[in-house]
Structure 1
Amino acid sequence: MARPPLAIGTAGKIKVTGAGAAWRARCRFRDYDGVVRAMERNGTTKSGAERALKEAVRDRVRVDPTAEINPDTKLSIVAEAWWAGFSLSDKSPGTKRIYRERLDAQIIPSVGNIRCRELSVGTAERFLRAVEAKHGPALTKTARSVLSNVCSYAARLDAMTRNPVRDTSPISVKPKKGKPRALTAAGVRQLRAYVTYDQVARRRDIPDLIDIMAATGMRVGEALALVWDAVNLDAKTVEVRGTVIRIKGAGLIIKPEPKTEAGYRTLILPDWAITVLRTRRHQEALNFGELGLVFPSAVGTLRDPSNVDHQIKDAFVYAGLPDLTSHVLRKTVATLMDEAGLTARQAADQLGHAKVSMTQDTYFARKTLDTGAAKALDILAFENA
């Protein structure tokens, strides 16, 4: 009578051979395609070799061994497999760029050679603490999210029994201290005047850009993505449709949606901003290249927001404001709206914030409030004072 075949996903009897410090454990394993294949593992002792083979059989049972991912797969391969799907998701190009950077700069170089079954909570914890010590909590928090996604992907394929990153210590990113800094109306007018005398800023086409950002509260990337087709000089409106970002391997592109859904907005411009666009920008529209950009490079192409941000910083230094960045213009717009009695909802709509709380907490400069305390506390004065 013929020997009955092994059941799918089971191993036969283990045979161990060897001597001294070289032992080999072997067995037959019937794979999920019905084919019986030989398995073997080595060890420095007889029991060690047998134990290693049993672990290999255990891990092989968890997943289809013909699949790419199994417990013996290195994390670098798992990461690339996860990335293949994530890169096709509807996440923003900026998010994809940041996640890819964390894979290439931290995760794959540090833990890429670790196999799925070897990544423990302790190993993940040590990796994250090392990243935090070198790069700070903000970058580490992103690296933790990416590694957690990779491990969740492995767990869904049974290459891991669980996601060990979820049990690592939480990473706290402390908010920046200090109240939001904003310029006064007089301060903005002075800034606008100063930068017109800055020959470097004028050569870099910065003064008009500062004017439009101060008139709208747009982000640098949004202003650089502005096209004449989105400007209606007669209706005095400008439509925010996207933002300029840099994609690795593709260069500068206009991301066809702003930072958030609330970023889609049509803004009404003040009269002085219409004058800037009509008299100083629109007359040269024919020289602005095929893209029809309001603020193009010298050759009519997109400008890098990061470079332009540094150029605006240089202009601020020239104007005697070395501690400020371009973001102060957004905070100034929000604060001036608040001081004019407009609501936080209106300010959030102007800036393109999805949450009003973001505008209130981060963009409104704190006002000096007459709470009535001063008058009530007059009673504490000495009578003869």
Structure 2
Amino acid sequence: MARPRLPVGTAGKITSRRDGPNWIAFCKYCDLDGIVRKIRVWDATKTKAENKLRERIRDRQAVQGRVNMGTKVVAVGEKWLSEFREQVDLGNRSGSSLDTYEHRWNTHVKPRVLGLSMGDLDAGRVDTILQDINRALSASSAKTARTVLSGLWGYAVRNGPLKINPVRDARPVENRKRRKAPRALEVHEALAIFELADGDEIAVRQDLPDIMRFYAGTGERTGEGIAVRWEHIDFKAKVARMEGNFVRTKADGAKINDGKSENAQRDVVLADWLVTMLLNRRARVAAQRGIASEALTGWIFPNSKGGLREASNLRRDWRAFRVRHGLGDWFTPRTFRRTVATVLTDALPARYASDLLGHSRVSQTTDTYVGRKAPSRRPAEVLEVLGGDLKEGSKGAP
């Protein structure tokens, strides 16, 4: 039976023997072109010669982009990130995801794999790393670290003879803290906050009253509200067109992307009170610029110089407002998004809220955004039909 050929990018058995005063170590190696070539090295002792040959094999594989069990984890991680950057440049991946993965890699994962080779990074070691990050930081950080480790192992499988990604065999990351229920506002609470903002000179100067009402009337994400322009509002149809989402990444800086999902670009119907608020705002801004209202273009909620507002600056102003009025740290721009989800699902089937918020799944709306503080009376009212002839205070059947 013929001897099986070497797989591409792998070496055969190492053989060593004396060669004059030194030792020679040699093996066969299958290059990327499929041709098997012999590699030879010499050194003073057998052990030194064999180790030198192993280093030569490793270097040859590194030059060819191959990954094996001896390749350093750090090297594979950097190559995976480089591959991810290429996908960002092609528009196939998000720049914000790249920023997140680079941060988790450099601060949480890389320090825990320094000196390790891919052969050391088995399922048990991966599990230890993830559980350590979970204990020291949070479940969220550990889950992102798991994505990073899975990504670099995926790169290794694609670029070498390795066949299995052991990250999948590590235990799931469990959240040690009880997940807090989404916090939404009652209608009277929202109206009270609007009143606080209207009477706050700093908030008025920072456009917070109008911004809060816009979020409350549309349920938009923070970046979507920043990205809306006057050209996106159809006042006759009472519809706002959501065209994108503000993001800032290290690679591209501040920009408007296409949104977080396929449903991100959508038409959002506007309540009459919100249309009135926007019409009044348009008239006021147009008068300041000395132009007709209908000719007004640009960002609806710009920065102080008329340019694109930074999400981080909006959150900073929001926090300051929260502190001035003694509101808890739960009160963020996203609070109104949860409020919209809750108000709508109390009155309509959940798919209406899901469509308005731009979610790809109805379950995302109900599980993540609907906030419950007090039980609704509506189920009890519906179940009244099962009471039959029983009246309050009457006795049931014996």
* TM-score computed with the length of structure 2 as normaliser: 0.77
The Cα shift of 1:99 comes to 1.6
The answer on whether the counterparts of 2:42 and 2:49 sit within 8 Å (CA) in structure 1 is no
Show the 5 A alignment for 1:63-212. Answer: 66-71=63-68, 72-89=70-87, 90-158=92-160, 160-173=162-175, 177=179, 179-212=181-214
CA displacement, residues 203-232 of structure 1 (integer Å, 9 cap, x when unaligned): 322111101111111111110011122112
Q: Which residue of 2 aligns with 1:280?
A: 281
1:73: Cα distance to partner? 2.7
Looking at structure 1, the residues matched to 225 and 28 of structure 2 have their Cα atoms a distance apart, in angstroms, of 63
- Which of 240, 244, 264 aligns to 2:246? It is 244
Partner in structure 2 of residue 321 of structure 1: 327
- Against the structure 1 CA distance between its residues 10 and 191, is the aligned structure 2 distance closer, same or farther, given a 3 Å change threshold? closer
User: What's 1:3 paired with?
Assistant: none
The alpha-carbon distance between structure 1 residues 42 and 82, as it changes in their structure 2 partners (threshold 3 A), is farther
Q: C-alpha distance in 2, partners of 1:320/1:130? A: 36
Does structure 1 residue 222 correspond to structure 2 residue 224?
Answer: yes
* Aligned counterpart in structure 1 of residue 349 of structure 2, from 338, 343, 349: 343
The answer on whether the counterparts of 1:116 and 1:160 sit within 8 Å (CA) in structure 2 is no
Query: Which residue is equivalent to 2:376?
Result: 367
In structure 1, what is the Cα distance between the partners aligned to 2:124 and 2:265? 44
Partner deviation per Cα, 1:168-204 (whole Å, 9 max, x = no partner): 2211237864544332333222211110111222232
Code of the residue aligned with 2:333 in structure 1: it is S
Deviates further, 309-318 or 263-272: 309-318
Give the drift of 1:307: 3.3
Question: Tell me, what secondary structure is at the counterpart of 1:37?
Answer: strand
CA apart distance, 1:376: 8.9
Q: Does 2:303 match 1:297?
A: yes
The separation in 1 between residues aligned to 2:107 and 2:313, in whole angstroms, is 22
CA distance in 2, matches of 1:261, 1:238: 17
SS at match of 1:88: helix
CA 1:337–1:42 in structure 2 vs 1: closer, same or farther (change >3 Å)?
farther
The alignment status of 1:260 with 2:261, answered yes or no, reads yes
Q: Distance in 1 between matches of 2:217 and 2:44?
A: 72
2:352 counterpart of 1:355: no
For residue 267 of structure 1, what is the amino acid of its counterpart? V
Q: How far does the alpha carbon of each residue in 1:222-271 deviate from its partner, in whole angstroms, 9 at most, with x for none?
A: 1001112211223221111111111014322111x222212221112122
Question: Distance between the aligned counterparts of 1:206 and 1:74, measured in 2?
Answer: 51
Q: Distance in 1 between matches of 2:44 and 2:169?
A: 33
User: Is contact 2:18-2:24 (8 Å) kept?
Assistant: yes
- CA deviation vs aligned residue, 1:6-29 (integer Å, no higher than 9, x gap): x99545631379xxxxxx974123
CA distance in 1, matches of 2:196, 2:240: 26
- Secondary structure of the residue that 2:260 maps to in structure 1? coil
On the 8 A contact 2:25/2:49 being kept in 1, the answer is no
Unaligned runs of 5+ in 2: 1-5, 290-295
Residues 240 and 253 of structure 1, relative CA distance in 2, 3 Å threshold = same
Contact in 1 for aligned 2:219/2:337 (Cα 8 Å): yes
Hey, what's the Cα distance between the residues in 2 that align with 1:39 and 1:259?
54
- Residue type of the alignment partner of 2:145: A
- Taking a change above 3 Å as real, the CA distance of residues 380 and 165 of structure 1, as seen in their structure-2 partners, is farther
2:339 is the alignment partner of 1:332: yes
Percent identity, aligned pairs only? 27
CA RMSD, 1 decimal = 3.6
248 and 190 in structure 1: CA distance in 2 versus 1, 3 angstrom threshold: same
- The one-letter amino acid paired with 2:376 is K
CA distance in 2, matches of 1:332, 1:42: 76
Q: How many residues align?
A: 360
**How far does residue 34 in structure 1 lie from its aligned partner after superposition?**
5.4
Equivalent position SS for 1:77: helix
- Report the secondary structure of 2:164's partner residue: coil
Unpaired runs of 5+ in structure 1?
Answer: 1-6, 18-23
| Deviation for aligned residue 1:291 | 8.5
Q: State the distance in 2 between where 1:153 and 1:278 align.
A: 53
CA distance 1:379–1:95, shift in 2 (3 Å): farther
Q: Contact (CA 8 Å) 1:313, 1:326: kept in 2 or not?
A: no
Q: Deviations over 1:89-124 (max 9, x none)?
A: 312232222122222222233314422233233332
Structure 1 residues 195 and 120: alpha-carbon distance in aligned structure 2, compared to 1, 3 A threshold: same
The whole-number CA distance in structure 2 between the counterparts of 1:15 and 1:351 is 72
Letter in 2 for 1:212: F
Q: Which amino acid aligns with 2:252?
A: A
* Equivalent residues of 1:227, 1:294 under 8 A apart: yes
Q: Which residue identity is paired with 2:192?
A: Q
Corresponding residue of 1:13: 15
Equivalent AA in structure 2 for residue 271 of structure 1: D
What is the CA distance between 1:306 and its match in structure 2?
3.3
